[in-house]
A and B are shown apart, each in its own frame.
Chain A
């Protein structure tokens, strides 16, 4: 009996841990996916969701129309990548609009300096990985 209780308590703790990983805030809506080509105007680190690290957010201006967007990238990217103001980017992501506020794009794919980064899968599941420490391992010869 005691062992059953222990198993149940362990399962409950696991479930609680999983629930703690869920967050509030806008969800990735695949029906509102947009593709935008833009220039980066500002790079910021902003708290976006309860219980997560601050996100790298790009303030961008769409090429042609000049429309402004906030693009939500990933929490780990502030140290993982160097994004500069003036750089051209292409974003695929879910558009979140609120009255009176700059529209936000939750980025799923980012093309930067000729390289495409998959930040989420097509259903919006995060795909990012870490800061400097997470790039460990044996470097064979050069930097590839």
Chain B
């Protein structure tokens, strides 16, 4: 089934690359294996094959970037998706040590079956300024705005992030960097109308969802016009834990954060790179509009992202440059995150009176070998997640292997 789909999509993607004459074409293939696709205590294993094709074409200071990707899930085929992404970049020098960078793009992601609710169309804008305060110190300012509409309109949003960073390199091969970010995400209409509830059951969502969750696989979101159902609810096999809120007030709701991060990096000779970083994030406005958030492996689940939490994150990394163009990177991350507005529930769906809070240990390693036009890699991750919500207490392994191949599609040689 999966091979058949890949056979269909590869010629289409190859054809899409033909106009890239004079640019560069990038082809990647990644094979993923996970024991826990939905990242809950009820582990569901899957294998994912992802093929992508990207083109990059320069027209003076303007660049066109386009990418198409097809991801095939072997077991949970409803999560198989096609994604397309197109964007324009524009670089504007401001003197010899500063520049502005502008980018605009559009993206679409299309799922099938019960996960059709995640299908989306979006647009994004980016503006950035970078300047050298001194040869060894860089200041960067960036603003990014995003708008997305989903097939299930509960997830429609408008967001922006503004960030400022400054760094300094020292002759001891030490780099220090400080970052600050303010972000705000506004869900345009995240609530279900209360009239959909039976009066007797309106006091508790949890009582309603119980062990069976919201809706089932056969319930069409398109039919209900944005119901928040259709991909399951708490403990529903194959899409777990998502519970929307009910309100007749209408309108949207926003969640805003402020974060600061510090990074220290140290080079040891030409072979070893060490880095340590710490992030602290506060929710400064609003809270999550949904009663639950959930993350899936490899899938951008619209109920959870970097806007949905507050807390701390500590990361340590080692990078080794081994001979023959082989790079080994390993890292450890500890994250302590709380999700304001999200309630912890027992496995039977009874509210525990606690805001959901997770502690996560993440180990990562990646080995990459670079050839002239081909990079081959294998990566491994292990996560140990504990949570005040027992559904999200889990441990799992993730393995990925793949390659990226790039080739110039034109005859350019020399300067550019």
Contact = CB atoms under 8 A, between A and B. Distances in A.
Interface of A: 14, 17-18, 20-28, 40-49, 51-55, 72, 75-76, 78-79, 82, 84-88, 90, 106, 111, 113-116, 118, 121-127, 129-134, 136, 138, 140-144
Contacts of B403: none
Interface stretch (B60-68, B179-187, B194-202, B208-216): B60-68
Given A84-B136, A84-B169, A106 B415 contact: yes
Contacts of A125: 408, 412-413
Contacts of A53: 58, 60-61, 63, 91
B321 A114 contact: yes
A79 B130 contact: yes
A48 B415 contact: yes
B415 A26 contact: yes
A18 B408 CA distance: 12
Interface stretch (B221-229, B340-348, B362-370): B362-370
Interface string B122-149: 0000101010101111100010000000
Given A44-B97, A126-B416, A132-B128, A52 B60 contact: yes
Contacts of B265: 113
Interface stretch (B9-17, B99-107, B240-248): B99-107
B3 interface: no
A25 B381 contact: no
Taking chain A's interface residues, is the majority helix, strand, or loop, or is none over half, making it mixed? loop
6 contacts: A21-B58, A27-B414, A86-B171, A132-B128, A133-B126, A138-B298
Interface stretch (B19-27, B230-238, B286-294): B19-27
Interface in B280-328: 297-300, 315, 317, 319-321, 325, 327
A138 B48 CA distance: 14
B402 interface: no
B102 to A, nearest CB: 9
A42 B265 CA distance: 21
Given A21-B23, A126-B24, A136-B85, 6 more contacts: A45-B98, A54-B93, A78-B99, A86-B135, A125-B412, A140-B297
A115 B267 CA distance: 11
Contacts of A88: 173, 270
B270 A133 contact: no
Contacts of A43: 97, 132, 135
Listed residue (B26, B98, B128, B270) with the most chain A CB atoms within 10 angstroms of its CB: B270
A124 B84 CA distance: 31
A90 B300 CA distance: 39
Contacts of A132: 101, 103, 126, 128, 142
A21 B62 CA distance: 12
B128 A79 contact: yes
A23 to B, nearest CB: 5
Given A41-B135, A53-B91, A144-B331, A82 B321 contact: no
Contacts of A51: 60, 416
B412 A126 contact: yes
A113 B320 CA distance: 10
A103 B211 CA distance: 73
B137 A84 contact: yes
A64 to B, nearest CB: 15
Nearest to A87: B169
Contacts of B327: 115-116
